[in-house]
Amino acid sequence: MQTALTRLLGCRYPIIAGPMFLVSDENLVGAVARAGATAAMPSLNWRQPEQFREAVRAVRQSAGGLPFGVNIIVNKANPRVERDLEICAEEKVPFVITSLGNPKDVIRKMHAVGSKVFCDVTNLEYALKVQELGADAVIAVSAGAGGHAGPVSPLVLIPYLKRHLRIPVIAAGGIATGEQIAAALILGADGVQLGTRFIASQEAKVSADYKNAIVKARPEDIVLTLKISGTPAAVIRTPYIDRVGLDLNIVEKFLLRNSWTKKTMKLVRSLLGARALEKAAAQTTWKEVWSAGQSSGLIEEILPAAEIVERLVKECETALARAKSFD
């Protein structure tokens, strides 16, 4: 299963276990890397920069020299972006995934130490910008993704970006099976990124209630809320989500539109949303805020990460072989 992604990183399979807030830690990332795929973790999963550095070193040891990555939110609402970037460069993290901001400094600094940079994109305009800045690949976040989902169907976004870009395109959003990986590859993707499927893994450091909610959820149970960060984010619909609603109140909307208060409001909204996610992920609470994508409807059991990778690869190979029989 050699593609542009496997050649860039030196992994066996073109599969990334995406970086998930509170979910992706040393154990999960290491397990996926050892299984032949690769994985990334958000730097903000650790409260202090030096704790994050220790995690990077632990993953490097756990992965046995195999590639892994780190996600950095690069907008101004992240006060740790510069320090976390310094650590990634000093530790020579194999690849960094940027989201929600301008990746110029990340690309410059990580390229200087021989690392790769992938950028989350949801449209062609931004994809072209990061390509010109020197990004090594884009992660095409489409409709159906968990977290900050894009608005465009993957059936359109993947070939559309491939038609206009020179760099590899990694498909993300709504993928949980090998058949879907095969479909993405046929559409032209150079690899895939899966998030929700790995929440329902034994290694994921979240509560059993969260994992079981993934298994039980239907695609139509996933809703987009502005309450997490002020930007539409996909979560499982729960009684608590119904109670608080999906939209911001009038005051919050005004503060987000005002140029004087926009930055502060984004930071406050992100901190409050992160706190809600953290409490719900770690323990049973009536405030159930569980991030997930529409692929929850295709996930039926909680498995070891290595077994998830093995199944994905077998299903993908079977689907690709079946597609050849149509000739």
pLDDT, tens only, 150-186:
899 999 999 999 999 999 999 999 999 999 999 999 9
CATH 3.20.20.70 occupies which residues in the chain?
4-205+305-324
Residue 284 has pLDDT above 70, yes or no: no
Please determine, for residue 197, whether its predicted confidence score (pLDDT) is greater than 80.
yes
Q: What HEC string does 71-89 produce?
A: EEECCCCCCCHHHHHHHHH
Q: What is the model's pLDDT at position 327?
A: 65
Q: What is the pLDDT of residues 209-240, one digit of tens each?
A: 999 999 999 999 999 887 666 677 888 988 88
The per-residue pLDDT for 78 is: 81
DSSP 35: T
Residue 276 pLDDT > 80, yes or no? no
117 to 40, 72, 76, 80, 113: CA distances (angstroms): 12, 11, 19, 18, 11
In this structure, what is the dihedral angle of CA atoms 82, 86, 87, 90, given to the nearest 10 degrees?
A: 170
Does residue 22 sit in helix, strand or coil? coil
pLDDT above 70 (res 40): yes
Mean pLDDT over each residue of the chain, to the nearest integer: 87
Examine the pLDDT at 273 and tell me if it is beyond 80: no
* CA 319 from centroid of its chain's CA atoms: 24
Structural domain 4-205+305-324, CATH architecture:
Alpha-Beta Barrel (3.20)
pLDDT digits (tens, 9 = 90+) for 86-131: 999 999 999 999 988 899 999 999 999 999 999 999 999 999 999 9
- For 318, residues 6+ apart whose C-beta sits below 8 A from its C-beta are 178
- The reported pLDDT for the residue numbered 242 is 80
Distances (CA, A) of 21 to 97, 118, 249, 303, 310: 13, 18, 25, 20, 24
Helix (H) / strand (E) containing 39: strand 38-42
